[in-house]
Amino acid sequence: MEGCRRDFPPHFLYIQLKENRICESEIENRYKMSSFNKDSDKFSRKDFLKTGMLSSFALAPALISTDDKPMRLVEGGSVENVIFMVSDGMSSGTLMLADLISRWQYGRQSNWMKLYDSDRTYHRGLMDMASNNSPVTDSAAASSSWACGRRLNNGAINVGPNGERYKPILKIFQEAGKKTGLVTTTRITHATPAGFGTNVPYREMEDEIAVQYLEHKYDLLMGGGLRHFVASERDDERDLLTAYRREGYQVVRDREDLNLLSTDRKLLGLFADSHLPYTIDRNHVKEIEQSVPTLNEMAGIALDRFSRSRDGFILQIEGGRVDHGGHDNDPAGLIYDQIAFDETLGTVLDFVEGRDDTLLIITTDHGTGNPGLNGMGDRYTASDDLLKNLYRFRRSSEWVLDDLDESSSESRIRERVKHATDIGLSPEEVNMITGALKGQYRTPYREQSEPTAVLGALLANYIGINWTSTAHTSDYVELVVIAPELNQVDGLTRNTELFDLMVNSAGVKAQAGVR
């Protein structure tokens, strides 16, 4: 692992180290050596074996049938626009917790739950998000299932188990003359946005994803991930920012610059080296607030630009750090980012109000961590007061742990937690975190022995929110659809069917290769 990047999200780095996987730069190097590249529609399995990729990343045998249900497209084409909203990693517990905090702390019902209470015409159901090789999906396979209509192996982005390369949904809409855009709070090269617009066998190939966005010339890209565009941080030392400008893109890196841009040019907005900060951190750090736009602001700019298109558009909007809050068992990181996503949902609902030309899909790709408010106190009467302790949180668990390691003193640990949460930990509780930082603390469920999980479990004693894991879960997920016609949506939807819905509703079957 020497020389490899070590700034992956904590959950990914942990899995990578535990399973002795090769690093991102090695993946990209081997990718470049193989015949799977921009000049080839399909990579050679023989060449793949020559490069050694299969020996390090075995293609897992399918646990779920690869025979997808036949596409059930009927005559459609009733909409011009598609807006696809993803609260990445949102379990039902996350949805409920955000609604409670929104009502109790801010005095308003969440827009998501308000929609359920309204008399608007919408479809609500559940969605089965299984991937090709597991009932528990990752974001790459999940986003790809929507984008190409097929279940793929976890980690792959629009590339099949035998190297099949599938045209992603943004390319389909682009070929139909529509505007294309991605907005996220993660790196713009992260799995969920990448799933809508690129083809790579491994989601970690984010340098390559940045190149493919440029090659495809999508109209709008906003999020984090600057490190995959600047020469000093790319393995090939290519200056992609200059390359984007040469292709006519406006490139912005600061919130203020967003309001000074022309609306008739393509836009690349990169507002952090990696992911955008959590909302809880943004809300309490003036420098972040001034320099980094909110998801709602980015989505509003995208909708304003795309609403001028006479031929329509497709726009994916992702609240991606909800997932990270789940992985980190971070209650404030998770809930306030879900509330930020919900504010964006309000903007989008206002946009589609009264329109008969727009398909709106609101969903998630999987649960993460599955948080829940537990019964606390006598007859569970302490649960509400404990949850309200969240109001006093000022920083994320990520912030707490970023400055701690195995050499951190007990006073330093106590100080960081106190500043972030206003909770004073006992000496015994501090010792648990110390042990986790040193790799010496063990819980019966081994995955819960990491520092993030230990801190999350300790905070549960004070706010009532506890977790099942730091990983994804196999839940059927919430699905909401608002469209002129809803006769193509079932109570239980298979993830791949959303591809059918989008392609049919927008009348782009020819570009999708569907008769």
Active site (catalytic) residues: 139
> Is 190 within 8 Å of 277 (Cβ atoms)?
no
> Is 40 within 8 Å of 34 (Cβ atoms)?
no
> Is 337 within 8 Å of 282 (Cβ atoms)?
no
CA angle (299, 232, 254) in 5-degree steps: 30
Q: How many CA atoms lie within 13 A of 273 on its CB side?
A: 6
**CA–CA gap between residue 399 and residue 55 (Å, rounded):** 37
CA dihedral for 462, 463, 468, 471, sign (positive or negative): negative
Tokens representing residue 391 in the block: 């109001």
Helix, coil or strand: residue 442: coil
List strand residue ranges (DSSP E) for 367-455, in order: 367-368, 372-373
> Is 112 within 8 Å of 344 (Cβ atoms)?
no
Q: What is the full DSSP assignment across 169-217?
A: HHHHHHHTT-EEEEEEEEETTSHHHHHHH--BSSTT-HHHHHHHHHHHT
